[in-house]
Structure 1
Amino acid sequence: MRTCSRTACARRAVATLTYVYADSTAVLGPLATFAEPHAYDLCDQHSERLSAPRGWEVVRLSLGTQQQGPSGDDLLALADAVREAARPVPQPVVEQPRESGREVARKGHLRMLTTE
C-alpha cells in the first residue's frame, strides 16, 4: 500500500500527479502501477483539493474507472510490439567491388593496383 506524498499525511494513495513542465500542465490520474521518482501519489482528499500554479492547466483523468491489471488494448499493443521485435531483419546484400588490375604493393589493409 502506498501512502499520500503530502507531508504528514498517512492516508492511502488513490491518484498519481505528474507535471508536464513544457506545457505548464498538471495531470492527475489513477494511481500508477509503480512509484515513479517524478510523480506524486495523493490520497482522495488531497487529489480533490489539488490546485496548480497561476497560468497552469490541471487535467483530471477519471479515477473511478480504475481497473486492476492491463486493459485488452494494452495487451494487444504489447503482443504487436513483441511480434515486431521478433521479426527477422533482412540483411542487405553487399556486392564486393570488382578488382581491375593486379596488386603491386600492400601496406596494412591498403593495396595498390595497376591498371591494365
Structure 2
Amino acid sequence: MLRKCCRPGCNNSAVATLTFVYSDSTAVVGPLATSAEPHSWDLCESHAVRITAPRNWDLVRHEGRFAPGEPDEDDLTALAEAVREAGRGERRRSAAADGPARGADTPSGPPSPITRTGRRGHLRVLPDPES
C-alpha cells in the first residue's frame, strides 16, 4: 500500500522519511522507510527537498532523487544480512563476557535459534524464514 505525505493538505505519495536524532540535534531526510513508524514522518518529494531543520539543528539530506515505490529486493536482502550478522556478533561478545553458566556441567552446544519476534529500539526483530 502506498503511503501518503504527512503534511496537512498534501495528497502526494511519500518518497522520503524524516526522522530526528534528538541526542545529536540532527534531522535526517532519507529514502522512504520500509514501514511506517510512529516517530518518523513520510514526505512527498516536494516537501522532502524543501524541509528545514529546527534552529541550531543539523539537517542530513539524501543526495539525488528519491525513488518512488518499494525498495529494491537486493537492498532489503543486503540490509537483512547486515543486521543478522551484527546480531550474531553481539550474541557472541555477550556470551563470552558472561562466561559459562553457573552449575553447568557440560559445555553448551550451539545457541538455539531465536524464534520470537518483537521490537528493540528502532529495529524490528523478525524470525528467520529458513527456520
TM-score by length of 2: 0.57
Select the structure of larger CA radius of gyration.
1
Q: Note if 1:69 corresponds to 2:73.
A: yes
Aligned alpha-carbon RMSD (Å) = 3.2
Taking every aligned residue pair, what percent have the same amino acid on both sides?
Answer: 44
Instruction: Name the counterpart of 2:13.
Output: 12
Q: Which runs of 4+ in 1 moved over 2 A?
A: 61-67, 69-85, 89-95
Alignment of 1:22-41 (within 5 A): 22-41=23-42
Instruction: Name the counterpart of 1:109.
Output: none
Q: Distance in 2 between matches of 1:36 and 1:59?
A: 19
Q: Distance in 2 between matches of 1:57 and 1:25?
A: 5
Equivalent pairs counted in the alignment come to 94
Instruction: Name the counterpart of 1:47.
Output: 48
Q: Distance in 2 between matches of 1:53 and 1:78?
A: 31
Q: Distance in 2 between matches of 1:83 and 1:25?
A: 30
Q: Which has the higher strand share?
A: 1
Q: CA deviation at 1:53?
A: 1.3
Gaps of 5+ in 2: 105-131
Instruction: Name the counterpart of 2:109.
Output: none
Contact between 1:16 and 1:42, CA under 8 Å: does it hold in 2? yes
Change (3 A) 1:2 1:82: same
Q: Which has the higher helix share?
A: 2
Task: Describe the superposition over 1:21-49 as per-residue Cα deviations: whole angstroms up to 9, x where unpaired.
Answer: 11110000000000000000000000011
Gaps of 5+ in 1: 96-116
Task: Describe the superposition over 1:75-113 as per-residue Cα deviations: whole angstroms up to 9, x where unpaired.
Answer: 43355368779x9x8965749xxxxxxxxxxxxxxxxxx
Q: CA deviation at 1:6?
A: 0.4
Q: CA deviation at 1:52?
A: 1.0
TM-score by length of 1: 0.63
Instruction: Name the counterpart of 1:113.
Output: none
Change (3 A) 1:92 1:42: closer
Q: Distance in 2 between matches of 1:46 and 1:39?
A: 14
